[in-house]
Structure 1
Amino acid sequence: MTRIALLQMTAGIDLQANAAVLVDAVDRAAAGGAAMLFTPEMSGLIDRDRERAAASIVAEDADPVLRSVCEAAARAGIWVHLGSLAVRRADGRLANRGYVIDGTGAVRARYDKLHLFDVTLPTGESWRESASYAPGDSASVVATPAGRLGLAICYDLRFPDLFRALSDAGATMLAVPAAFTVPTGEAHWHVLLRARAIESGAFVVAAAQAGQHADGRTTYGHSLVVDPWGTVLLDMGETAGLGFAEIDMSQVDAVRTRIPVLDHRRAIPPIGTVA
């Protein structure tokens, strides 16, 4: 059994305050016996005011939140999946980038969000992530104490081809850090995460933002851990805090043997059309 921790947070517009929450979570996760901590999408900054946010978004090697979490991971000797940060790329565009940090504080993997959230909801909420961010161009699977971890971020959850590629590449656990809106969360969050776990025969770990943020938005919460059979092992509800779950990686082989969907996958043949 491997113990993991999830941070459910209400990140705001103050980098230092967000970094302090993350560092505290690293320390408490290690003290609680976790081998790895998972944090939400945009753990370092949530700010819909693009002009104000721009002053806080810097290149990766200058990011104070990333530096603080790497230092905390090294002190505590714990791995961290830092769900994502807003970072400035070399070309000047922004990336929504996740990090896997090992127990020495070294970055083991990076992942830039592939699918950008450009939607207008029936509630009138409008989101245009592509107005500020560039999409990633690659996927990532990395060996961790919690298994071979496939990386995704939030809106990626709606694109099963990514999760098929990650499980085909050997992922036994899938990370989906998020800042889901309340309407979409209530409708789709649980069912999509359970579906990704079932179809991949893998654990899904989804650390989420929750509550009313300083920039005015509200996020759904309900950080989840789902096992390969689709059973929810942890649901953190709507309150910020730290949660723990016990992961039995033997369940992956057991489920994949019971229903060997990965072995049965086939390339989809051309689809014919009838006039």
Structure 2
Amino acid sequence: MTDPIDAPPAVPRAALVQMTSGIDPEANLAVVDRAMADAAAQGAAMAFLPEMSLLLDRDRARSAAHIRREAESPWLQALQAMAQKHRIWLHSGSMPLLADDGERRVNRSHVIAADGNIRARYDKIHVFDVRLPTGENWQESAAYAGGGALSVVDTPLGRLGLSICYDLRFPELYRALVDRGATLIAIPAAFTVPTGEAHWHVLLRARAIETACHIVAAAQCGNHPDGRTTYGHSLTVDPWGTVLADGARTAEANENGYGLTVAPIDPAVVHKAREAIPLSRSRAIRNIDP
């Protein structure tokens, strides 16, 4: 594993915040505030939160009291104020909001600049409708509408492509983000333990290698108040597939309620990987007889 402290100061750093988010948004916001202060103190240019960083609650009736349309929700304003206070860019991971029609929810990411301005939004495209061999049954589509638009935005770390959790399993999405200029990709997640143990590391390394992008994947970790357990292991992976930082399962053990890993995001590594294996030049679609 590369030691992030050895990175030269000229190379910008990403801070991944690993959380055990619960059912109290105010408590989760307080954790985020502490983590952003820590990230800024360690010289990170941008902090990344996990999926559902501000509210992780599988009880849809209980969580409904907190979930509003974006324009009416206090959460985004709180995060904008934190970005300004700590003078650091922020990727919100994601938060549950009501869709504009007020019927179903959306799982939405935001990229917030250090001046507090929102630079990008993204609604999770692929909803998690699965029945696992363990008996776990997840039907996100019962409450959540899938998004329909890609999002890429310029940041201090490079051109960032946005995705969320279950999107990880659809490589065509990441190819489309690279076609739009992405040099790094955010994949905030709340992976289950069985799927995390089986697939998390290998899928993230595969997405990094096949896109020749840095991958920043902040994760939920541990035993949550709503009864679920998540895998942790927030990862930063370079375009060659090397794991630069792994959060393991540190969030639960941290008295401040989060784990933090900081890693360099060196644009020269992207260039080197794409020169070594020129996927964009080599890619071709040919008619092949059956």
**Same-fold status (TM-score > 0.5):** yes
1:19 aligns with 2:29: yes
> Using the alignment, how far apart are the partners of 1:200 and 1:219 within structure 2?
26
What residue ranges of structure 1 are gaps of 5+ in the alignment? none
Partner of 1:204: 215
1:116 aligns with 2:134: no
Partner of 2:275: 257
Determine helix, strand or coil for the equivalent of 2:274.
helix
Aligned residues: 272
Q: For 2:273, give the aligned amino acid.
A: V
Q: Out of 34, 44, 52, which is 1:42 matched to?
A: 52
| Cα-to-partner distance string for 1:75-115 (whole Å, 9 max, x where unaligned) | 11110011100011111121000000001111100000000
What residue ranges of structure 2 are gaps of 5+ in the alignment? 1-10, 252-258
Determine helix, strand or coil for the equivalent of 1:238.
coil
Determine helix, strand or coil for the equivalent of 1:174.
strand
Q: For 2:18, give the aligned amino acid.
A: Q
Contact 1:200 1:262 in 2 (8 A): no
Q: Out of 48, 58, 64, which is 1:54 matched to?
A: 64
| Cα-to-partner distance string for 1:117-157 (whole Å, 9 max, x where unaligned) | 00010111000010000000001110000100000000000
Q: For 1:179, give the aligned amino acid.
A: A
Percent of aligned pairs with the same residue?
60
> Using the alignment, how far apart are the partners of 1:86 and 1:272 within structure 2?
46
| 1:265 positional shift | 1.9
Determine helix, strand or coil for the equivalent of 1:74.
helix
| 1:269 positional shift | 4.6
Partner of 2:184: 173
| Cα-to-partner distance string for 1:188-209 (whole Å, 9 max, x where unaligned) | 0000000000000110000000
Q: 1:270 to 1:53 in 2, by over 3 A?
A: farther
Q: 1:94 to 1:256 in 2, by over 3 A?
A: same
Contact 1:73 1:80 in 2 (8 A): yes
1:235 aligns with 2:253: no
> Greater RCO between the two (CA within 8 Å, min separation 6)?
2
Q: Out of 135, 139, 145, which is 1:134 matched to?
A: 145
> Using the alignment, how far apart are the partners of 1:105 and 1:114 within structure 2?
26
Runs of 4 or more consecutive aligned structure 1 residues displaced over 4 Å after TM superposition:
269-273
1:82 aligns with 2:100: no
Contact 1:112 1:135 in 2 (8 A): yes
TM-score for both structures, normalised by structure 2: 0.92
Partner of 2:114: 103
> Using the alignment, how far apart are the partners of 1:90 and 1:75 within structure 2?
30
Partner of 1:9: 19
**Aligned-residue CA RMSD (Å):** 1.0
| 1:62 positional shift | 2.4
